[in-house]
Structure 1
Amino acid sequence: MGVDQASIVGGAINFVKELEQRLQFLGAKKEKVEGKSDASTSIPFSDFFTFPQYSTSASFCENSLAMNEQMSEVKCGIADIEVAMMETHANLKIRSKKRPKQLLKIISSLHVMHLTVLHLNVNTSGEIALYCLSVKVEDDCNLRSVDEIAAAVYQILTRIQEEAMLNN
């Protein structure tokens, strides 16, 4: 019974991502226990993002303010989104405020866009949720780059936020 190399490598990558996420979760939990979650501390899971396409960080917001003041206000409040791709697989990291049925809406929207969820990890700390998804970009998917996928996820989260605001 042979297992192909891609499956082994994919499994190893998912395992490492799971360990990274667990480390972030435990770090956030430790900060909370030690009482370091005051205003000087960053939002939970912030060290988990390397090169986010959409970011709530101060440096991103300052750059956006120089370009377009109105857009920065929207982008700074919604989510951190980072997408990395290799061939037909993409890894998504999403950090946002928890909202009702958010995960269900994200997964169903990805499915509609022909992005099949292969692996999913969720961690929460207070009002913040960190979603890490491994997805397969199907042949009939119109999204081909990390920026296109990140923009689509950003639109999903914008819609979820708007729905949550309307329901309050």
Structure 2
Amino acid sequence: MQGDQASVIGGAIEFIKEMQQLFHSLERKKKRRRSLSPTPSPKPPSLAAGELAAFCRSAAADVEAKISGSNVMLKTLSKRIPGQVVRIVAVLERQAFEILHLNISTVEDTVLYSFVIKIGLQCQLSVEELALEVQHSFSQESAF
């Protein structure tokens, strides 16, 4: 029982740390826009041994997909685009992913979508292909 509680608390602490890191990243991006001086984009976070992750960066969005057990942590950072979350959900559903959790955070005209998704049995995508598919959804015309 205590092991379960420790696991839940550990998970909550890790989630809070990730959210703090993302908040600071958004704050830095906001400051960069205001200063108009070019600043290098942050380096991808370091990965634990054996952890699989993919990062796609473009003018439209930054996409990160990381496998964590039987789930995938998917994060996108972009300007607000009407209907974008619907396009991402459509990509995930087409590829047999089940969305377990979605968090949406905004700062001015920037939005961070954080998904926890379960890998379906029919899923054929690698983590790199998933990141590319989601990245591609940012360039699709709105059909919704």
Aligned partner of 1:153 among 119, 134, 140: 134
Match of 1:53, SS state, is strand
Q: For structure 1, list consecutive stretches of 5 or more residues without a partner in the other structure.
A: 56-75
Larger Rg over CA atoms: 1
Point out 4+ residue stretches in structure 1 off by more than 6 angstroms. Answer: none
Taking a change above 3 Å as real, the CA distance of residues 158 and 40 of structure 1, as seen in their structure-2 partners, is same
Give the TM-score normalised by the residue count of structure 1: 0.61
Bigger proportion of residues as helix: 1
Aligned partner of 2:34 among 37, 40, 44: 37
Taking a change above 3 Å as real, the CA distance of residues 83 and 9 of structure 1, as seen in their structure-2 partners, is farther
Q: Percent identity?
A: 24
Residue 157 of structure 1, CA deviation: 2.0
Deviations 1:122-165 (A, max 9, x none): 2112221111111111101121x210111121122221xx338x
Within 5 Å, give how 1:53-64 maps onto structure 2: 53-55=55-57
Match of 1:54, SS state, is strand
Within 5 Å, give how 1:66-85 maps onto structure 2: 76-85=58-67
Counterpart AA for 1:150: A
On the 8 A contact 2:75/2:113 being kept in 1, the answer is: yes
What is the total number of aligned residue pairs between the two structures?
137
On the 8 A contact 1:95/1:130 being kept in 2, the answer is: yes
Give the TM-score normalised by the residue count of structure 2: 0.70
